[in-house]
Structure 1
Amino acid sequence: MMMMVMRAWWPRTTLLCLLWAVRYVVCRDVTVPPGPLYRVAGFPLSIPCAVTGYEGSRTQDFEWFLYRDDSQGRQMGVISTRDAGFPYAPFMPRVKSEEVRLERDSGDKIRLVFQRLRVEDQGRYECFTPNTDSKYLGNYSASVAVQVIPDTLLISYTRSLIGQPFLEGAELSLTCSAAISSNVHTHLSITFGVRAAATGSGSSPGTQRDIIAVDKELGLRPGRENSYQRRYDDGELTLMKKSGIGGMDAYVMKMSAVAPEDSGLYFCEASQWILDPDGTWQKIAQRSLEIGNLTVQPLADSLRVTSTPRGEVTVQLGSPLTLTCEVSGLAPGGQSGLLVRWMRIRAVSSDDRVSASGVSEDEVARYSPDGVVTWKDDSSRTGGGSMEKGADGKYSLRLFSAHPADSGVYRCAVSVFVGRRIPGSSAAATFTQRSDAVTVNLKTKEVKLSAVAQLAPGPLLKRGDTVTLLCNVSVVTTGPAQVEVQWLRKGLFPVQEGGDKGGVDGEAVEEKGLVLATLTHQGISRLYTNNSSEVSVDRLSPVTYSLRIFSAQSEDEGLFVCQAEVWGQDPQGVWYNSGTKAQSQSVRVYLYARAADLLLIPLVVGVSSALLVGVLIIATVTCCFMKQVSQAALPNIRRWSSP
């Protein structure tokens, strides 16, 4: 029983002892920042004061006193939270105008704020808290020294943004000079920024964005908004310091290419910083200058791409062709890269697979931002053309000898990479614009072409024989010419898995034919057949071309045609496709059975007939013999059966 009473009494006794200890050990404590605090005349001063360990109301009162350096210890009442008549005469007007005021952070934390510090405000400031405790324990006040230093912060700029709007992609350079002169060690920070205009890109009027700054620890820091960090990393945004005039340092901010979202009111801000004894940086002076409004005109409104000649041009076959693309409306001296491409729009035949628009656009040549010229087909234009850049923004496409394949509708396409003179391979263009179209027609020489196909004379073709097809081609033209012959087979195609014929679309094969082999104008054989039989092509005479199918089988049967195409030679000795084609009539190839196959039929028929006759004979003989035996035994049966 005694043990149970002791267990119940012990926790309550311990709690009472702890409450008594807290009551008599916790003391009132008033704290202010360690000093001295150096502040600049004419700029704000803020001194925090906090009280802890008190009793009574959570909202404590505060009174501030000043002990000037020349007052020989006499105090001056500055301001109080509980007595409106507390301030001494020098502070009374300033308190009434709220130039000197108290700002409460919480019930037990308050700040003494001077809106504009004066030289005579230098001295020791004491924060006092009236007693609300049952006993006097701890300290009820704390003081900190304030040193007022003269204002030496200077700032100026050398160029105002007044005049014509900037073109998108133009370089922006702003210079701001600043200096401080102080016996106390302080740092100077410089910030370039912009305030959005009322019609800014989605921003409310007066919204401020820091572009780039030299911060209080003398580090370079780009702004976080509006992609300034990316532009700084890419080298498009820089801030440099150099010696200025009159002992001032000049800070030069450069943006390699401005964008429409960069429009707004630009300013330069200089701040003086000091490291307080508690290890925190404090801004003790600041000045800002407005440099002016910047308006950026979008590239889409200024860029112009034109091509010459205009409309339609006709050139002779083999003559040179020059097309010029002129780019204007770019910002002078800008850092933007240009990709210039000449595109050709050709008419589309019914045989081509294209979109519903009925046209397809091919790239002929390009001039990249790093000055490299690339042709769509290097082999066809080796030494036959050039693409050059002129000093006046003109890009010329030169074809030394025009071919029929060069006819079509041309346009110049210009892609601009704003702020990136040499963009990466994956970089997207800021804007692309095309010129008006120019139609190029070529006067070609007349070419007459015909093709006749036939089987080579000989006996009837049988499976396993070599099939020879001949194509007689007739060409009437002026100048050197070569013929390219292609052999095609129509109908009776071997169907592979999935119904695919030769790996191409079945309907297209049925219509155009399956290409078996080609003999190019250079005399090169190209074989495409996928049958088991081997084929070859050859030129037997200046006008006769052959196709041979070795060990032909039934799957090689079908309708065969030859297609001829004329290649001409220009004055520079380059061969070109004239575009003239002719296709022969169809020749049917049918393979008869071999002699051995023909003998097999009577042999099979004969054996089958012999077997059938033998069976009939045996059946007949057996049937008659059994009948005679039964008739001979019938009288004896009757004899034995009579009474």
Structure 2
Amino acid sequence: MEAGWIVFAAFLWEFHCAMCRDVTLPPGPLYRVAGFPLSLPCTVSGYEGSRTQDFEWFFYREDAGAKQIGVVSTRDREFPYAPFQARVQSGEVRVERDSGDKARLVIQRLRPDDQGRYECYTPSTDMRYQGNYSASVDVKVIPDTLLITHTRVLTGQPVPEGAGLQLTCATSVMTVQHTHVSLTFGVRSGTGYGFPGHNLHEVMSIDRELCVVPGRGNSYQQRYTDGEIGLEKRSGEGGRDMYVLKMSALEPGDSGSYFCEAAQWILDPSYQWERIAQRTMELGNLSVQPLAGTLAVVVEPAGEVSLQPGSPLSLACQVTGAGWWNRSALLVQWMRRGPAGGVEVEVARMDPDGVVSWGDDASKGGGGSMEKEAEGRFTLRRFSVHPLDAGTYRCAVSVYAGRPTPGASSPATITQRSEGVLVSLRTKEHSVSATIKMPHQVIPKRGSTVTLLCNVSVVTMGPNQVEVRWLQKKVESDGKGDTPPVESKGSLLATLTYDGMAHIYNNGSDLSIDRISASVYRLRVFSAHEDDQGHYLCQAEVWAQDPHGRWYNTGAQAVSSTVHVYLYARVVDLLLIPLVIGVSCALFIGVFIIATVTCCFMKRLARQRSRIKK
């Protein structure tokens, strides 16, 4: 029974204490630095009355014993004692509310004589006076020993996009307390390069735990991942810590006013890190000039180049304003558009690693070279130009600013194209015509050989050869029966090149091609079947010889009209069906006659046997 009363009494005590007023401050002692702010949060709980509580702050100097000095109050403007009265009136010392029952004492700039014990008192609003109405904490004011220096000041002179930047700041702190130092490089950017504004961005930081943290803006996180920006901490002279910011490829958005900011941190008895000192060092203005305003791509010679077939061609691409050559990779492409317009094709390219590759087959087989003659100068040479080389040439340059070895999927910083230079050839006139026909009095039949002749007529000066191609367009039905048949796209059957080489393409048929006279070319289809039916045509191209004896395609060509090939049935095929029907009928009649005769004979024999028995 007695034990039960003890438990009940303990419960009542706990409940009673839970309803008591309680004032709390952070545990101390708290070390803060002279010249920097002090913020002491004070919280009251378990109170009665209004939710908005008043707070009064008192100060006890270490050298003044227990003498109480009023600092500031939330309800009495005349509360501050003389040592704090002017500072309270100026706002240097004040109370800031976080909520109705939580307020903090703020001293904007600590003085050495602010060291002592601070008490937070809450006037009672309770029906009964019970609980804790005040709390105190010791504050130690230590000297300001945080130093920060730099080794380079930015002058604001424009630097090209893609250039590198390295900034260095050094810090040191002398204190017996265990503190950590963090450092941040930042920039105040404006609306244009060279005009610093007030948009603050953190570039890179090393926090109090020595972790490197990239800034959130201006794609710093991605650039840090790509290795384009970094921050290192090194040991310097005299116990100083050196912090080095490296930016390998500056962008126009990096323009602005740069600074480095050092902060001193201490771990309070509450196990919360508090920043107790901070210093900022201005590093000057940086102006990054965009490549779009400096890059220039020019082709030499300009305008128009007129050549004879077989002459050499040399074009130079001059690139200026691309920044530091040893820091920016270039992709250089030569492009050509034909004299009649159309699609622009790549002739040749030089990759950032210096590897040359050719574009279309005509460029690859034409004979030539692409070289880097000097920094920013790239030449395209054709050893012997032909009509297919004519057209408008341009040089396209892609710059990877600040990246000497970009990845295969890395986007270029900028791509700029030169003006076009027209390359024309003073060629002789060439004309060609082609007609296709079948030999007279020849009816194509299934299983027989189908012969087609292509007559080519060429009008030109000088040596020439003809290249002939044979094509077939099959007739396909749409299966509905109420619409005319549709011609498919022509398929290449065979080619007889200008130098007499025959190329047969497998289409399931047995073919041959040859030249039977100076102007007549023949195609033969052996053992023709249904798939060989359709429209046939021939295509002729004229090749000429340049002064060096090399053959080239003049571009003159002609396409014949089409001839329709329909395969008729053979005579033996036509007689096969009547023959089968006749033989079948004869067999049927023969069997019928034999069966009838046999039946009659058997009946007669049976009658004779019956007479004999009688």
Common topology (TM > 0.5) = yes
Cα contact 1:170–1:333 (8 A) shared by 2: no
Task: Tell me the alpha carbon deviations over residues 243-275 of structure 1, each in whole angstroms, 9 at most, x when there is no partner.
Answer: 446543332222222323333322221111111
- CA distance 1:109–1:463, change in 2 (3 Å): closer
Cα drift, residue 544 of structure 1: 5.7
Inter-partner Cα distance in structure 2 for 1:238 and 1:505:
67
Question: What residue is the counterpart of 1:51 in the other structure?
Answer: 44
* One-letter amino acid of the counterpart of residue 387, structure 2: P
Cα contact 2:394–2:417 (8 A) shared by 1: yes
Alignment equivalent of 2:223, drawn from 216, 231, 235 = 231
Cα contact 1:342–1:411 (8 A) shared by 2: yes
Inter-partner Cα distance in structure 1 for 2:146 and 2:34:
11
1:299-318 → structure 2 map (5 Å cutoff): 299-318=291-310
Task: Tell me the alpha carbon deviations over residues 575-605 of structure 1, each in whole angstroms, 9 at most, x when there is no partner.
Answer: 643324356787787877755478799999x
1:371-382 → structure 2 map (5 Å cutoff): 371-377=354-360, 381=364
Question: What residue is the counterpart of 1:579 in the other structure?
Answer: 555
Cα contact 2:21–2:44 (8 A) shared by 1: yes
Question: What residue is the counterpart of 1:79 in the other structure?
Answer: 72
Cα drift, residue 56 of structure 1: 3.2
- CA distance 1:602–1:391, change in 2 (3 Å): closer
Inter-partner Cα distance in structure 2 for 1:225 and 1:459:
83
Inter-partner Cα distance in structure 2 for 1:54 and 1:156:
52
Alignment equivalent of 1:518, drawn from 495, 499, 508 = 495
Cα drift, residue 46 of structure 1: 0.9
Inter-partner Cα distance in structure 2 for 1:151 and 1:333:
47
Cα drift, residue 389 of structure 1: 2.5
Cα drift, residue 528 of structure 1: 5.4
Question: What residue is the counterpart of 1:155 in the other structure?
Answer: 148
Inter-partner Cα distance in structure 2 for 1:326 and 1:152:
57
Question: What residue is the counterpart of 2:539 in the other structure?
Answer: 563
Cα drift, residue 113 of structure 1: 1.2
Inter-partner Cα distance in structure 1 for 2:19 and 2:433:
117
Question: What residue is the counterpart of 2:139 in the other structure?
Answer: 146
Q: TM-score, normalised by structure 1?
A: 0.77
Task: Tell me the alpha carbon deviations over residues 168-193 of structure 1, each in whole angstroms, 9 at most, x when there is no partner.
Answer: 33323322222222211111111111
* One-letter amino acid of the counterpart of residue 312, structure 1: E
Matched, 1:400 2:393: no
Inter-partner Cα distance in structure 1 for 2:530 and 2:97:
105
Question: What residue is the counterpart of 1:320 in the other structure?
Answer: 312
Question: What residue is the counterpart of 1:101 in the other structure?
Answer: 94
SS at match of 2:297: strand
- CA distance 1:521–1:73, change in 2 (3 Å): same
Question: What residue is the counterpart of 1:27 in the other structure?
Answer: 20
1:160-175 → structure 2 map (5 Å cutoff): 160-175=153-168
Matched, 1:345 2:337: yes
Question: What residue is the counterpart of 2:586 in the other structure?
Answer: none
Inter-partner Cα distance in structure 1 for 2:114 and 2:212:
35
Cα contact 1:515–1:529 (8 A) shared by 2: no
Question: What residue is the counterpart of 2:398 in the other structure?
Answer: 415
Cα drift, residue 343 of structure 1: 0.8
Cα drift, residue 329 of structure 1: 1.7
Cα drift, residue 484 of structure 1: 2.3
Question: What residue is the counterpart of 1:640 in the other structure?
Answer: none
Inter-partner Cα distance in structure 2 for 1:179 and 1:51:
40
Question: What residue is the counterpart of 2:125 in the other structure?
Answer: 132
- CA distance 1:476–1:191, change in 2 (3 Å): same
Inter-partner Cα distance in structure 2 for 1:99 and 1:585:
100
Cα drift, residue 234 of structure 1: 0.9
Of stretches 252-261 and 575-584 in structure 1, the one that deviates more from structure 2 is 575-584
Inter-partner Cα distance in structure 2 for 1:207 and 1:402:
58
1:59-458 → structure 2 map (5 Å cutoff): 59-197=52-190, 199=191, 206-244=198-236, 247-332=239-324, 335-348=327-340, 359-377=342-360, 381=364, 384-444=367-427
Cα contact 1:33–1:48 (8 A) shared by 2: yes
Inter-partner Cα distance in structure 1 for 2:424 and 2:274:
76
Inter-partner Cα distance in structure 2 for 1:496 and 1:170:
66
SS at match of 1:90: helix
Matched, 1:551 2:550: no
Cα drift, residue 548 of structure 1: 0.7
Inter-partner Cα distance in structure 2 for 1:270 and 1:313:
64
Cα drift, residue 242 of structure 1: 3.1
* One-letter amino acid of the counterpart of residue 475, structure 2: P
Inter-partner Cα distance in structure 2 for 1:549 and 1:569:
33
- CA distance 1:116–1:359, change in 2 (3 Å): same
- CA distance 1:243–1:22, change in 2 (3 Å): closer
Cα contact 1:192–1:269 (8 A) shared by 2: yes
Cα drift, residue 52 of structure 1: 1.6
Cα contact 1:103–1:112 (8 A) shared by 2: yes
Inter-partner Cα distance in structure 2 for 1:581 and 1:108:
96
Inter-partner Cα distance in structure 2 for 1:557 and 1:42:
101
Alignment equivalent of 2:476, drawn from 480, 490, 495 = 495
Alignment equivalent of 2:33, drawn from 28, 40, 47 = 40
1:531-546 → structure 2 map (5 Å cutoff): 534-539=510-515, 545-546=521-522
Cα contact 2:18–2:46 (8 A) shared by 1: no
> How many equivalent residue pairs?
568
Inter-partner Cα distance in structure 2 for 1:586 and 1:172:
70
Of stretches 28-37 and 543-552 in structure 1, the one that deviates more from structure 2 is 543-552
Q: TM-score, normalised by structure 2?
A: 0.80
Question: What residue is the counterpart of 1:623 in the other structure?
Answer: none
Inter-partner Cα distance in structure 2 for 1:172 and 1:382:
46
Cα drift, residue 534 of structure 1: 3.5
- CA distance 1:590–1:129, change in 2 (3 Å): closer
Segments of 5+ residues of structure 1 without an aligned counterpart are: 1-17, 349-357, 607-643
Of stretches 519-528 and 157-166 in structure 1, the one that deviates more from structure 2 is 519-528
- CA distance 1:505–1:326, change in 2 (3 Å): farther
Question: What residue is the counterpart of 2:599 in the other structure?
Answer: none
Segments of 5+ residues of structure 2 without an aligned counterpart are: 1-10, 583-614
* One-letter amino acid of the counterpart of residue 512, structure 2: S
* One-letter amino acid of the counterpart of residue 437, structure 1: G
Task: Tell me the alpha carbon deviations over residues 373-421 of structure 1, each in whole angstroms, 9 at most, x when there is no partner.
Answer: 2211368626932222243211222223323321111011122334444
Cα drift, residue 123 of structure 1: 1.7
SS at match of 1:217: coil
Inter-partner Cα distance in structure 2 for 1:128 and 1:462:
120
Cα drift, residue 362 of structure 1: 0.7
* One-letter amino acid of the counterpart of residue 517, structure 1: A
SS at match of 1:93: helix
Inter-partner Cα distance in structure 2 for 1:142 and 1:483:
109
Question: What residue is the counterpart of 1:628 in the other structure?
Answer: none
Inter-partner Cα distance in structure 2 for 1:438 and 1:118:
76
Inter-partner Cα distance in structure 2 for 1:449 and 1:84:
110
SS at match of 1:371: coil
Inter-partner Cα distance in structure 1 for 2:172 and 2:547:
74
SS at match of 1:70: helix
Cα contact 1:263–1:293 (8 A) shared by 2: yes
Cα drift, residue 99 of structure 1: 1.7
* One-letter amino acid of the counterpart of residue 155, structure 2: I
Cα drift, residue 522 of structure 1: 5.7
SS at match of 1:96: helix
Task: Tell me the alpha carbon deviations over residues 27-86 of structure 1, each in whole angstroms, 9 at most, x when there is no partner.
Answer: 222211111111111111111111222233333333323232323343333333344343
Inter-partner Cα distance in structure 2 for 1:460 and 1:146:
118
Inter-partner Cα distance in structure 1 for 2:207 and 2:397:
41
Report sequence identity in percent.
Answer: 60
* One-letter amino acid of the counterpart of residue 494, structure 1: V
